[in-house]
């Protein structure tokens, strides 16, 4: 039975939600994992970094895997492998074993992330309008649900091993259900509307003046990929700063008690809302305008909050930035899937890989600046990045490339 676009949308939304639930569900019990493994904070930091290494090592495999077996199949199989590996975390008793498990866990997550995003572009194409932001909204809701489940399990005193085994089993059943409703068949070589725009490097190489055409095609792909890479790295900085550093800034600004964590809450809520309303904005105004306005507003709001100081102004800025960054990653995914001459799954895998590299290095950069000049200057890097994203949003425009035939 062939799935309808509506069924496929439900299935992909479920995969995004599951991809958010499981990581949050075990990270919310990280203190128990650390205790059971018998490691201190310094060792835990090294062990957690193995996850980032795994994501970078395996993430680019999503492109060739999706080309061979289809993005939907790769997304589900990656999750079916990821879920039991998640349960294994509860039974690791040494730092080495935990680091090895996290390497594979985040590696599989990177493959699933790129594959399900590639399939979401196919579903959006079938819908004929923007729905990509809503998928990422379901991921955000999944992280909230996973964190809540972790808190509840801890409050009830549930054993970590039993808790993760049951949760992983339920998640696998839901993933198998989603598989039935994914779009069948192989992924297209291109999502460009103009069939003449589907130019491959092989075709360019076999045409007249093949060497010059081949070089030009590779050069155009390389320039667009580089600009998308810069876009996603700056986007990571804008997204990472409020999520990771707000509690530190608010403490210095005089916040006490629960107000210390309200920056993250404000940012997360605004980003989730922004992702569910983002598709209407994109359909109405286009990615370029939506991103440009959102980043301009984010730069102004956060910059003003840093200059004026105070808790209230910063929390308001977190709301503005959260709403502004909501469409950033979906827009980059959409642009990566529409690079002429590059398979959609390959472009998406590269962007996803670069985002993981950004989340690895951005905190280091912000941390170094904050240590030497103060947390305000560290957070100001997000202001600069948001401002740079305003003109760089032009890279999100879809390109139509027609094949020339020389006589």
In a domain, 312, yes or no: yes
| Per-residue pLDDT band at 186 (split at 50, 70, 90) | confident
Per the structure, how many domains does the chain have?
2
Q: Are residues 153 and 273 in the same domain?
A: no
pLDDT at 252: 86
Q: Are residues 140 and 243 in the same domain?
A: no
| Per-residue pLDDT band at 400 (split at 50, 70, 90) | low
- 178 contacts 76 by C-beta, under 8 angstroms: yes
| Per-residue pLDDT band at 1 (split at 50, 70, 90) | low
Phi-psi region of 3 (alpha: psi -120 to 50; beta: other; left: phi over 0): beta
Q: Are residues 239 and 373 in the same domain?
A: yes
Each residue's pLDDT tens digit, 360-381? 888 888 888 988 998 899 999 9
Q: Are residues 325 and 390 in the same domain?
A: yes
In a domain, 344, yes or no: yes
In a domain, 405, yes or no: no
DSSP, residue by residue, 157-180: T--HHHHHHHHHHHHHHHHHHHHT
Each residue's pLDDT tens digit, 272-287? 999 999 999 999 999 9
- The answer on pLDDT for 407 being more than 80 is no
Each residue's pLDDT tens digit, 107-152? 999 999 999 999 999 999 998 899 999 999 999 999 989 989 998 9
- The answer on pLDDT for 354 being more than 70 is yes
In a domain, 170, yes or no: yes
**How far are the Cα atoms of 8, 44, 106, 403 from residue 208, in angstroms, in the given order?**
42, 58, 45, 12
**Domain span including residue 124:** 5-179
The three-class DSSP label of residue 208 is coil
Q: Are residues 242 and 322 in the same domain?
A: yes
Q: Are residues 163 and 239 in the same domain?
A: no
Q: What is the CATH number of the domain that holds 341?
A: 1.20.1250.20
pLDDT at 219: 65
In a domain, 143, yes or no: yes
pLDDT at 406: 42
Q: Are residues 61 and 174 in the same domain?
A: yes
| Helix (H), strand (E) counts: the chain | 16, 0
Listed in sequence order, the residues at least 6 apart from 180 whose beta carbon sits closer than 8 Å to its beta carbon are 3, 11
Mean of pLDDT values over 49-67: 92
Residues listed for the chain: 407
Of 179, 212, 240, the domain-final residue:
179
Q: Are residues 154 and 297 in the same domain?
A: no
């Amino acid at each position: 039975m062939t799935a309808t676009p509506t069924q496929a949308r439900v299935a992909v939304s479920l995969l995004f939600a599951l991809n958010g639930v499981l990581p949050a569900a075990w990270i919310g019990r990280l203190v128990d994992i650390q205790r059971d493994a018998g490691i201190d904070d310094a060792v835990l930091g090294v062990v957690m970094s193995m996850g980032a290494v795994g994501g970078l090592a395996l993430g680019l495999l999503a492109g060739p895997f999706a080309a061979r077996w289809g993005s939907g199949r790769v997304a589900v199989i990656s999750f079916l492998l990821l879920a039991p590996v998640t349960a294994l975390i509860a039974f690791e008793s040494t730092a080495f074993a935990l680091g090895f498990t996290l390497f594979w866990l985040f590696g599989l997550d990177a493959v699933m992330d790129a594959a399900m995003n590639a399939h979401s572009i196919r579903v959006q194409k079938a819908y004929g309008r923007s729905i990509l932001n809503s998928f990422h909204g379901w991921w955000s809701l999944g992280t909230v649900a996973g964190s809540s489940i972790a808190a509840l399990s801890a409050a009830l005193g549930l054993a970590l091993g039993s808790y993760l085994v049951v949760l992983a089993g339920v998640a696998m059943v839901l993933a198998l259900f989603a598989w039935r409703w994914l779009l069948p068949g192989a992924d297209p070589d291109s999502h460009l509307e103009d069939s003449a725009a589907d130019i491959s490097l092989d075709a360019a190489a076999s045409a007249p003046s093949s060497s010059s055409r081949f070089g030009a095609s590779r050069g155009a792909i390389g320039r667009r990929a580089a600009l998308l890479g810069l876009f996603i790295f700056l986007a990571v900085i804008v997204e990472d700063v409020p999520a990771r550093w707000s509690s530190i800034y608010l403490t210095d600004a005089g916040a006490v008690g629960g107000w210390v964590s309200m920056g993250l809450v404000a940012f997360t809520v605004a980003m989730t809302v922004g992702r569910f309303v983002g598709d209407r904005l994109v359909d109405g105004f286009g990615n370029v305008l939506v991103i440009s306005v959102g980043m301009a507003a984010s730069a102004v709001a956060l910059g003003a909050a840093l200059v004026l100081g105070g808790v209230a102004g910063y929390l308001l800025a977190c709301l503005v930035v959260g709403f502004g960054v909501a469409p950033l990653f979906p827009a980059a995914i959409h642009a990566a899937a529409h690079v002429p001459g590059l398979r959609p799954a390959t472009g998406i895998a590269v962007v996803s890989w670069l985002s993981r590299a950004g989340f690895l290095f951005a905190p280091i950069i912000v941390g170094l600046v904050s240590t030497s000049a103060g947390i305000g200057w560290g957070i100001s890097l997000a202001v600069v990045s948001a401002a740079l994203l305003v003109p760089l949003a032009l890279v999100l425009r879809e390109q139509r490339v027609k094949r020339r035939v020389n006589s």
